[in-house]
Structure 1
Amino acid sequence: MSRNAVEETDWAAFDAFVTALPRLYPRVHAALDLERHGDHGHALLYRWRGRADDAPIVLLAHYDVVPATPDGWDHPPFAAELTGHGDDRLLWSRGTLDDKGAVVAILEAVESLLAEGFTPAQDVYLSFGNDEETVGSGAHAIVDSLRERGVRPAMVVDEGGAVVQGLFPGVRRPVAVVGVSEKGTTTVTMTVDQQGGHASTPPRMTATVRLARAITRLNARPFPSRLSETNLQMVETLGAHATGLYRAAFTRARRLQPLLRAAFARLGDETRAVVRTTTAVTQLRGSLAANALPETAEAVVNVRIAVGSSVDETLAHLRKAVHDPRVRIEATDANEPSPVSPTSGPEWERIARVVASVHPEAVLTPYIMLGASDSRHFTAICDAVYRFTPFDISVEEYHTLHARNERIRVATWLRGIRFYEELIRAV
């Protein structure tokens, strides 16, 4: 895709990808049932029939990617170039981490297990979305189809956290962060309708000035910070492995909540997003001509709603912060925060065992995912939805997601394949 607009998607590239899969993974396509869903039939659902079908699992990933141009990349973003030797080999490409790397790791794992003659104890579904980065309609269509058939998975595993070194202050060991929920994602428009006219005789308060004032007010009144139960559990878990003052503070998270909320709000953009609903004005629209007063001025606000809050509570805060009845505030594509999946019980323990096997050095912790994923749709049919990409990455590599020079170490990708193999064996 050259842009992120759905209507400008190059569907021919998706057709080429889907056509290539049977050649690359012949055993998968010989043994598994394949269905195509969504408006263009590019959302793929594979069913691997197991010895029973009462507690299936779903391995979820998406193969669409965010746009990229060659500008600023060390290697062309869609050339999939390999560099280095041995343990230093790198694969450079848009999607290696988000999220084609997981798609092909899952397929590699299933192809390998089929070569062994392995049959899972329960049905295994592979769900590959085609528009996660835009609207997620492909995953939604797959969920609708499974619901109609009465399929209720025991567990869903999608992209999300990873095994990251140096991400949390005071913790020297790598941390495997498994998302048990995700923030709600909602688009809010702030609109001012006003009389237009020639720009040579402007009123004191034009539509754009009123809108700018609303944006400034919103920016000056952030949402209150709070630590959810998952946040507290994460801090306590990491506290047991932290050093110095961090250990003293983290292990007393429940007693030191006000202090920790304040610290998280000041440490950086990511930690601030962990403890509150966030807003970001991403698009502005005004007049169609340089010398005409706008009759409508509009700002688009991307809102990420914290677990424990709601769309209604968010809109109430926005209207109170803006405090101007002439600014119309409306929500579109509103999504509530996802339900919180359990951090105990057989499904969580299964994840924990496999993580411990593949990444024995890592500390496992739950967390709340800040971004949105296709997994939010699966919460309608499954209570145990986990967001974990089984790749060990550095903080630097983490920051290439949706950015330049996205890449993955080949050794990391191979460990990811092993994770999916062991997870399927554990079903």
Structure 2
Amino acid sequence: MSGSSHTDAAVARLQELVRIPTVSHRDPARIDRQAFDDFHTALADCFPLLHQHLERIDIHEHAVLFRWPGASSARPVVLMAHIDVVPVEGTWQHPPFGAEIADGAIWGRGTLDDKGSLVAICEAVERLLADGVTPAQDVWLSFGADEEVSGDSAPLAVAELRKRGVTPWFVLDEGGAIAHQAFPGITAPIGVVGVTEKGVTSLELTAQGRGGHASTPARNGPTARIARAITRLDSAPMRPHLPPPTLELFRRIGAQAPAPLGALFSHGTRLSPLFTRALIAAGPEAAALVRTTIAVTTLSGSPALNVIAGQASAGVNIRVMVGDTVDEAIAHIRKAIADDSIEIAVVERNEPSPVSPMDDAFSLIESTITEQFSDAVPAPYVMMAATDSRFFTEICDRVYRFTPFRMTKQQREAIHSYDEHLGVDAFLDGIAWYRRLLEGLPA
């Protein structure tokens, strides 16, 4: 197969899989299970060698593990991705499940999160199998089907690996990127590798009242108290601080920044308070690097315009920074609200993930970034979103998050939003990156 047809086939396979609307929902009744069945059928058709040579273990619903036996099983590696995508919102330039190619990119829900990674992994494995390559170590592929709703796929995959006595040398999931336009004044792309991730905790704030007819409103009703709680929260962010991975990130990119910004980045430890204030002032993306964030996401009140709510509630999503705890975040919220009549219910709670070491496993990922993306500065960071990989910290000390695709700021903003798209060349570079990583596994 020529290089051009090889490329065209890889892109076509991604298009085919993006066109299947594998949307996950918290309500099982809303899930289109046929779409997930169709995805697995198409995946087997797209990657016949992978399905022929790798052991397949069905985990949960549509989640699967694949085991690729290596020359050794002493230091097995797990590569992760997920099949499911979030629902479509907003107005798209191109159909969200059309997988159209325009302006040098493949447009569609899941191209970046996370079918692009899944297909790139499978493509790399398929090509290595076609070339008769046996990896130096066992390679496990873990493909979840409910990552977007924090489902059971990943915990059950971990349980299966534990049952089989598999202790991974390292785990690599989505997250990070070859990030262009990552920070003001930094022209070089940053190859950010998540060595930890914030803990995800969700709360529901509820205010109760008598309710009644809208013609006779009383002061301090449920909606007013919820509104007051929200504004108080908005005015009371948690204390900022810089965890070690963030300091290392800025130390590494300091050489790329113009003076005096470069000096500030390079000496973040000694100039921590000043540095922290500068990041907060740089906008929400930078500010999220230095503190636990609190976002009010859902609101509910009266079912009708002429009815006073008997109950009003607000959903709160917390991303707990490394160095903080869930209990500290909840205590902060209680104090900020300063209203004992507001009930606080914990919907889910997850502490920040342990910080993975920057040892030989990290060095392999780092060197592979440098080989494939010579203009990029590899660096650790604290991932702000949640991934399935957080469950794998139970069986592995080295859990990393990196998506080997070039992404502009606009592309990163499209994740979970509208106009999600992945550059064709970026996709092909990602396939090459996974292949380099697998070829570079040490004996």
- After TM superposition, the score normalised by the length of structure 1 is 0.95
Q: CA deviation at 1:135?
A: 1.8
Q: CA deviation at 1:137?
A: 1.8
Q: Per the alignment, in what secondary structure is the counterpart of residue 152 of structure 1?
A: coil
Which of 91, 98, 105 is the equivalent residue of 1:90? 105
Which of 79, 86, 93 is the equivalent residue of 1:59? 79
Letter in 2 for 1:353: S
What residue is the counterpart of 2:34 in the other structure?
Answer: 12
What is the CA–CA distance in structure 2 between the aligned matches of 1:28 and 1:377, rounded to whole Å?
Answer: 25
Closer/same/farther in 2, CA of residues 200 and 83 from structure 1, 3 Å limit: closer
Which of 307, 311, 322 is the equivalent residue of 2:322? 307
Which of 362, 385, 407 is the equivalent residue of 1:348? 362
2:396 is the counterpart of 1:374 = no
2:156 is the counterpart of 1:141 = yes
Contact 1:6–1:134 under 8 Å retained in 2: no
Q: Per the alignment, in what secondary structure is the counterpart of residue 338 of structure 1?
A: coil
Which of 72, 77, 82 is the equivalent residue of 2:96? 77
Give deviations 1:268-290, integer Å, cap 9, x for gaps: 01011111111111111122333
Match runs of 1:373-412 below 5 Å: 373-412=387-426
What residue is the counterpart of 1:183 in the other structure?
Answer: 198
Which of 412, 421, 424 is the equivalent residue of 2:435? 421
What residue is the counterpart of 2:288 in the other structure?
Answer: 273
Q: Per the alignment, in what secondary structure is the counterpart of residue 253 of structure 1?
A: coil
What is the CA–CA distance in structure 1 between the aligned matches of 2:269 and 2:193, rounded to whole Å?
Answer: 21
What is the CA–CA distance in structure 2 between the aligned matches of 1:102 and 1:3, rounded to whole Å?
Answer: 18
What is the CA–CA distance in structure 1 between the aligned matches of 2:169 and 2:176, rounded to whole Å?
Answer: 20
Which of 353, 359, 371 is the equivalent residue of 2:373? 359
Q: CA deviation at 1:165?
A: 2.0
Aligned residues with identical type, % of pairs? 46
Letter in 2 for 1:371: A
What residue is the counterpart of 2:146 in the other structure?
Answer: 131
Which of 244, 264, 269 is the equivalent residue of 1:249? 264
Q: CA deviation at 1:352?
A: 1.3
What is the CA–CA distance in structure 2 between the aligned matches of 1:417 and 1:329, rounded to whole Å?
Answer: 46
Q: Per the alignment, in what secondary structure is the counterpart of residue 19 of structure 1?
A: helix
Give deviations 1:173-215, integer Å, cap 9, x for gaps: 1110001111111111111122333333332211111111111
What is the CA–CA distance in structure 1 between the aligned matches of 2:218 and 2:419, rounded to whole Å?
Answer: 48
What is the CA–CA distance in structure 2 between the aligned matches of 1:257 and 1:107, rounded to whole Å?
Answer: 43
Aligned residues: 419
What is the CA–CA distance in structure 1 between the aligned matches of 2:111 and 2:371, rounded to whole Å?
Answer: 23
Letter in 1 for 2:315: V
Letter in 2 for 1:178: V
Higher alpha-carbon deviation: 219-228 or 198-207: 198-207
- After TM superposition, the score normalised by the length of structure 2 is 0.91
Give deviations 1:243-285, integer Å, cap 9, x for gaps: 2211121111111111111111111010111111111111111
Which of 36, 58, 63 is the equivalent residue of 1:43? 63
Contact 1:169–1:246 under 8 Å retained in 2: no
Q: Per the alignment, in what secondary structure is the counterpart of residue 322 of structure 2?
A: coil
Which of 38, 43, 49 is the equivalent residue of 1:27? 49
In structure 2, the gaps of 5 or more residues are 1-20
Higher alpha-carbon deviation: 129-138 or 153-162: 129-138
Contact 2:195–2:401 under 8 Å retained in 1: yes
Contact 2:106–2:423 under 8 Å retained in 1: yes
Letter in 1 for 2:372: V
What residue is the counterpart of 2:10 in the other structure?
Answer: none
Give deviations 1:341-373, integer Å, cap 9, x for gaps: 112x21011111111111111111100011111
Letter in 2 for 1:143: V
Give deviations 1:99-154, integer Å, cap 9, x for gaps: 10000000000000001111111110001111111123211211121122221100
What is the CA–CA distance in structure 2 between the aligned matches of 1:80 and 1:287, rounded to whole Å?
Answer: 40
Letter in 1 for 2:87: P
Q: Per the alignment, in what secondary structure is the counterpart of residue 258 of structure 1?
A: helix
Higher alpha-carbon deviation: 181-190 or 134-143: 134-143
Which of 215, 225, 235 is the equivalent residue of 2:250? 235
Higher alpha-carbon deviation: 132-141 or 44-53: 132-141
In structure 1, the gaps of 5 or more residues are none
Q: Per the alignment, in what secondary structure is the counterpart of residue 56 of structure 2?
A: strand
Which of 171, 175, 182 is the equivalent residue of 2:186? 171
What is the CA–CA distance in structure 1 between the aligned matches of 2:373 and 2:25, rounded to whole Å?
Answer: 35
Contact 1:163–1:392 under 8 Å retained in 2: yes
What residue is the counterpart of 1:319 in the other structure?
Answer: 334
What is the CA–CA distance in structure 1 between the aligned matches of 2:294 and 2:204, rounded to whole Å?
Answer: 12
Give deviations 1:2-26, integer Å, cap 9, x for gaps: 7854431211111100011121111
